[in-house]
Chain A
Amino acid sequence: MAAPALSIRGLTKVYANHHQALKGIDLEVADGDFFALLGPNGAGKSTTLGIICSLVNKTAGKVEIFGIDIDRDFSKAKYALGVVPQEFNFNQFEKVEDIVLAQAGYYGIPLRRAKPRARQLLEDLGLADKRDTPARMLSGGMKRRLMIARALIHQPRLLILDEPTAGVDIELRRSMWEYMQRINREEGTTIILTTHYLEEAESLCRNIAIINRGEIVENTSMRALLGQLDVETFVLDLAAPLESVPEIEGFAVARLDPSQLSLSVSRGQRINDAFAALTAQGIEVVSMRNRANRLEELFVALVEDKQGGKGGIR
């Protein structure tokens, strides 16, 4: 069997101020996967990604990229890896194309091969007309795309993106998703990303890990995780305000405001039954939506679970 794109064993990180950011995590990402690493602020996502691309020294543990131990043959491992960090990390005074070409140079790619590739990448990422613009004059979303172009210049097999869509508008975010899906599908690039937009993770990623306070609290496929959802909560908008909370046999109902109800539907229950009861009571529902994104509900439950809160999954 082919080596996984990423394999992490017992990864520990204690920062200089004695803060233990990672408490011995294990993680495996298959070749060709589209993987999300999720977790609240300060959970240890950037620390994990930083160790993989050697921006952060690890305290203990082992990291392999396509079976190559980063401590053994770091040069070979790095050829396989492209990184888009959370914070901007290019020289603000240099021009867009120069930044991408310099990165190619650091990988030993001759200019005659780097140039057409840089042009193509900047074109694909909508930066073609910004080639000669100093990086500081780009908008936030453009800067992020510049970092993606730079990370792809040496055609890495594994692309790591730390919050690539933070501060990117909806339209652009969608085009970035499409781009990442395309290179995942057509070039077989394995993609690992972190994001706080859970609907983004849900629609893009096949597999997922949730990290909280330096520990992996969940690591499974997106489908299996969503399948764990026991209770889904819907918000119903009513045609007319209600005086009191209606009772529906077998369902938990609450009034959010006079013309909004929340309805919790457990696994195995039929929404039809709830609507039949509402209709019988003369209550007219004009629209309905999920109270939260499905992944979000699980996420909150998982993260709260560890913090002593109440969980909503089995």
Chain B
Amino acid sequence: MNAQQTLIALWTIVVREIRRFMRIWPQTLLPPSITMAMYFLIFGNLIGSRVGEMDGFDYIDYIVPGLIMMSVITNSYSNVASSFFGNKFQRSVEELIVSPMQGWTILTGFIAGGAARGLLVGLIVTLVSMFFTRLEVVHPLLTCLVVVLTATLFSIGGFINALMANKFDDISIVPIFVLTPLTYLGGVFYSIHTLPEFWQHVSLLNPILYMVNTFRFGILGVSDIAVGWALVAIVGFNVLFFAVALRMLNRGKGIRH
């Protein structure tokens, strides 16, 4: 395939992915908006007013960046996991395999689709948060960069999950038992400085902590960790996971006999 053909193929996948989550918006876009509105209302307004300040910010202002990030993570991941696994389940993944597309085109298409949903949900959640508070973004460029890289990283994760999954249960295990706990413990709701020293160190092993904090730094200008290194790590994870996913795809893991 030449460059133009590859671009058309890539675009086809992206459009198809976006169409999919738009078609089933009551399952993909609506629930996170409602859940997050609840979080803002309960933790931000009702409980938050009693919590007082966190790192010098109103509690609601402190958790909004974390909750946006949490929506981006879960939605990017589950979009690719369920879409690609659905393609496997319905065998329509064969449409991709028989075509002349290279593995990286397929992978990039699905990542872009997953990131599109993650970012769209992130945007919706941001809009919802405006009913509760007004945030100024301190470092807009960094904020955009880190949210995009997080969306792509978890899209790749969802892709790997879908390749390895044999049944629908297999694509809900990781979100429930890995992503959700890591996100909750990843500094969405609190600064790790509020933890005993031992747990602060344990928290530093959690990759999601770095993304949430870098994103929060972009918006509020405060972070528990060194933002520069966090950014390097996020880029590194993207590269590593992309390579792993591509290798699995090219070997036909989970999709070819």
Binding site for B on A (CB under 8 A): 15-16, 50, 53-57, 74-76, 78-79, 81, 83, 85, 87-93, 102-103, 105-110, 150
Tell whether, in the assembled complex, residue B92 and residue A107 are in contact, meaning their CB atoms are under 8 Å apart: no
> Which one of A15, A83, A103, A108 lies within 8 Å of B5 (CB-CB)?
A108
B12 interface residue (CB < 8 Å to A) = yes
Q: List 21 A-B contacts (CB under 8 A).
A: A15-B257, A53-B97, A54-B256, A55-B94, A55-B256, A78-B98, A78-B100, A83-B98, A85-B91, A88-B91, A89-B91, A89-B92, A90-B91, A91-B87, A91-B90, A102-B12, A102-B95, A105-B8, A106-B100, A107-B5, A108-B8
Distance from A208 Cβ to chain B, minimum over Cβ atoms (Å): 25
Tell whether, in the assembled complex, residue A55 and residue B92 are in contact, meaning their CB atoms are under 8 Å apart: no
A108 surroundings in chain B (CB, below 8 A): 1-2, 4-9, 100
Tell whether, in the assembled complex, residue A81 and residue B9 are in contact, meaning their CB atoms are under 8 Å apart: no
Q: Enumerate the 3 nearest inter-chain pairs by beta-carbon distance, A residue then B residue, closest first.
A: A108-B5, A105-B12, A89-B91
Tell whether, in the assembled complex, residue B90 and residue A110 are in contact, meaning their CB atoms are under 8 Å apart: no
A107 surroundings in chain B (CB, below 8 A): 5, 9, 99-100
CA gap between A53 and B96 in the complex, in Å: 11
Tell whether, in the assembled complex, residue B256 and residue A57 are in contact, meaning their CB atoms are under 8 Å apart: yes
Most chain-B Cβ atoms within 10 A of its Cβ — which of A56, A85, A105?
A105
> Which one of A87, A89, A106, A110 lies within 8 Å of B99 (CB-CB)?
A106
Q: Mark B1-37, 1 if CB is under 8 A from A, else 0.
A: 1101111110111001000000100000000000000
Tell whether, in the assembled complex, residue B90 and residue A75 are in contact, meaning their CB atoms are under 8 Å apart: no
Q: Which residue of B lies closest to A78 (CB)?
A: B100
Distance from A146 Cβ to chain B, minimum over Cβ atoms (Å): 12
Tell whether, in the assembled complex, residue A56 and residue B8 are in contact, meaning their CB atoms are under 8 Å apart: no
> Which one of B9, B100, B101 lies within 8 Å of A76 (CB-CB)?
B100
Q: Which residue of A lies closest to B87 (CB)?
A: A91
A81 surroundings in chain B (CB, below 8 A): 98
A105 surroundings in chain B (CB, below 8 A): 8-9, 11-13
Distance from A103 Cβ to chain B, minimum over Cβ atoms (Å): 6
Count of interface residues, chain B, beta-carbon cutoff 8 Å: 30
A88 surroundings in chain B (CB, below 8 A): 91
B236 interface residue (CB < 8 Å to A) = no
A93 surroundings in chain B (CB, below 8 A): 23
B52 interface residue (CB < 8 Å to A) = no
Chain A interface mostly helix, strand, loop or mixed? Answer: loop
CA gap between A88 and B89 in the complex, in Å: 11
B1 surroundings in chain A (CB, below 8 A): 75, 108
A54 surroundings in chain B (CB, below 8 A): 97-98, 256
Number of A-B contacts (CB under 8 A): 83
Q: Mark B94-129, 1 if CB is under 8 A from A, else 0.
A: 111111111000000000000000000000000000
B11 surroundings in chain A (CB, below 8 A): 105
B140 interface residue (CB < 8 Å to A) = no
Q: Which residue of A lies closest to B95 (CB)?
A: A103
CA gap between A72 and B1 in the complex, in Å: 14
Most chain-A Cβ atoms within 10 A of its Cβ — which of B8, B87, B256?
B8
> Which one of B16, B91, B94 lies within 8 Å of A102 (CB-CB)?
B16
CA gap between A59 and B5 in the complex, in Å: 31
CA gap between A79 and B256 in the complex, in Å: 20
CA gap between A93 and B95 in the complex, in Å: 15
CA gap between A75 and B5 in the complex, in Å: 11
Tell whether, in the assembled complex, residue A92 and residue B90 are in contact, meaning their CB atoms are under 8 Å apart: yes
When A50-B257, A78-B100, A92-B90 are in contact, do A110 and B95 touch as well, CB less than 8 Å? no
Q: Which residue of A lies closest to B15 (CB)?
A: A105
**17 other contacts beyond A89-B90, A91-B92, with CB at 8 A cut-off?**
A50-B257, A53-B97, A53-B98, A55-B97, A57-B257, A75-B100, A78-B98, A83-B98, A85-B94, A88-B91, A90-B91, A90-B95, A103-B95, A103-B99, A108-B1, A108-B7, A110-B8
CA gap between A74 and B251 in the complex, in Å: 14
Q: Mark B66-101, 1 if CB is under 8 A from A, else 0.
A: 000000000000000000001100111011111111
B221 interface residue (CB < 8 Å to A) = no
Q: Which residue of B lies closest to A110 (CB)?
A: B8
CA gap between A50 and B98 in the complex, in Å: 10
B99 surroundings in chain A (CB, below 8 A): 78, 103, 106-107
Distance from B222 Cβ to chain A, minimum over Cβ atoms (Å): 45
Tell whether, in the assembled complex, residue A56 and residue B98 are in contact, meaning their CB atoms are under 8 Å apart: no
Distance from B90 Cβ to chain A, minimum over Cβ atoms (Å): 6
A103 surroundings in chain B (CB, below 8 A): 95, 99
Most chain-B Cβ atoms within 10 A of its Cβ — which of A16, A53, A89?
A89
Tell whether, in the assembled complex, residue B5 and residue A57 are in contact, meaning their CB atoms are under 8 Å apart: no
B91 surroundings in chain A (CB, below 8 A): 85, 87-90
Tell whether, in the assembled complex, residue A106 and residue B257 are in contact, meaning their CB atoms are under 8 Å apart: no
Q: Mark B224-257, 1 if CB is under 8 A from A, else 0.
A: 0000000000000000000000000000100011
CA gap between A176 and B251 in the complex, in Å: 36
Tell whether, in the assembled complex, residue B100 and residue A90 are in contact, meaning their CB atoms are under 8 Å apart: no
